[in-house]
């Protein structure tokens, strides 16, 4: 797919304008990222952000409500809870359901976090695993294998932790990485430093993909990993250092403007 320079200039003007419009602090209030924004401690932000991202399909109000329920059961101190909870502390979690994500998936996620944070200061190492630098595809693939490396990992949970190996667009995990990696943002946290904003892949949901196709930024009809990569490659023509900032523009145009 080749986009001529004249069209690129027009697209950049449109998307820069929409990015400036939607990339504002008030975006946080009605978005799942509002949950981790309630915290200050790095590990609390990571844990809250992970659950907010993994639950991020369906109605945004419901996503925020259910993620906040998890945080309340963790006594609003998710990192401390993860490391120090006892078996009876898990009782509130046993009837949790968010769409197809249920208590089995949630309890295993808590078990994984306990295993990880017992030996690591940050969740970043779960994606990087001591490599000085990696690409996002390798980071997501490595994380999937690591997440399910515990002996009692349930098969049913695998569908909730996407991987490029299964050709998934990995929308929710790419959004999580955007939250953790993008710097100088009023919305994203920029807590992690090994992956760079230039490495990120655009979170590809139906709003983003529909607008991208209408603008001529995406030809592929399936919303899969190849489509997410292809869209990001075109967004890099507009801003090589920070291509996924245009996720705000594309999502806003689709979800808010019905472009």
Structural domain contains residue 45: yes
* Domain termination residue (choose one: 148, 163, 195): 195
Q: 104-150: per-residue pLDDT in tens?
A: 999 999 999 999 999 999 999 999 875 656 799 999 999 999 999 99
Structural domain contains residue 35: no
Structural domain contains residue 94: yes
Structural domain contains residue 71: yes
8 Å CB contact between 173 and 203 = no
Q: 206-249: per-residue pLDDT in tens?
A: 999 999 999 999 999 999 999 999 999 999 999 999 999 999 99
Structural domain contains residue 36: no
Domain that holds residue 23: 1-30+202-259
The alpha carbon dihedral of 44, 50, 51, 57 has a sign of positive
Q: 145-176: per-residue pLDDT in tens?
A: 999 999 999 999 999 999 999 999 999 999 99
Residues 6 or more apart in contact with residue 201 via CB below 8 angstroms: 136, 137, 170, 174, 177, 228, 229, 232, 244
Is there a single domain that holds both residue 13 and residue 133? Answer: no
Q: Total structural domains in the chain?
A: 2
Is there a single domain that holds both residue 157 and residue 49? Answer: yes
Q: For residue 26, count other CB atoms closer than 10 A to its CB.
A: 10
Is there a single domain that holds both residue 49 and residue 130? Answer: yes
Structural domain contains residue 182: yes
Question: DSSP class of residue 31?
Answer: S
Q: 176-210: per-residue pLDDT in tens?
A: 999 999 999 999 999 999 999 999 999 999 999 99
pLDDT at 133: 60
Retrieve residue 2's tokens: 């080749």
Kindly report the average pLDDT of the chain as a whole number. 95
Instruction: Name which of 254, 257, 229 is nearest 243 in CA terms.
Output: 229
Is there a single domain that holds both residue 150 and residue 121? Answer: yes
Is there a single domain that holds both residue 229 and residue 146? Answer: no
């Amino acid at each position: 797919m080749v986009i001529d320079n004249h069209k690129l200039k027009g697209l950049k003007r449109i998307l820069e304008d929409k990015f400036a419009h939607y990339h504002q602090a008030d975006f946080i209030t009605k978005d799942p990222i509002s949950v981790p924004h309630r915290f200050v401690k790095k590990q609390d932000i990571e844990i809250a952000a992970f659950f907010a991202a993994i639950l991020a399909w369906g109605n945004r109000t419901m996503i925020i409500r259910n993620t906040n329920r998890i945080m309340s059961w963790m006594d609003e101190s998710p990192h401390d809870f993860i490391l120090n909870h006892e078996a009876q502390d898990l009782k509130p979690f046993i009837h949790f359901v968010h769409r197809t994500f249920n208590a089995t998936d949630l309890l295993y996620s808590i078990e994984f976090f306990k295993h990880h944070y017992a030996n690591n200061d940050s969740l970043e190492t779960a994606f990087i695993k001591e490599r000085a630098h990696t690409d996002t595809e390798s980071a997501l693939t490595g994380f999937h294998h690591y997440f399910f490396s515990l002996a009692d990992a349930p098969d049913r949970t695998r569908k909730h932790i996407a991987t490029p190996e299964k050709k998934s667009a990995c929308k929710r995990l790419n959004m999580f990485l955007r939250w953790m990696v993008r710097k100088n943002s009023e919305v994203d946290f920029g807590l992690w430093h090994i992956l760079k904003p230039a490495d990120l892949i655009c979170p590809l949901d139906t709003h983003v993909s529909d607008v991208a196709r209408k603008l001529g930024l995406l030809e592929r009809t399936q919303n899969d990993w190849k489509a997410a990569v292809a869209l990001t490659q075109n967004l890099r023509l507009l801003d090589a250092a920070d291509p996924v900032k245009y996720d705000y523009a594309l999502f806003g145009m689709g979800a808010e403007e019905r472009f």
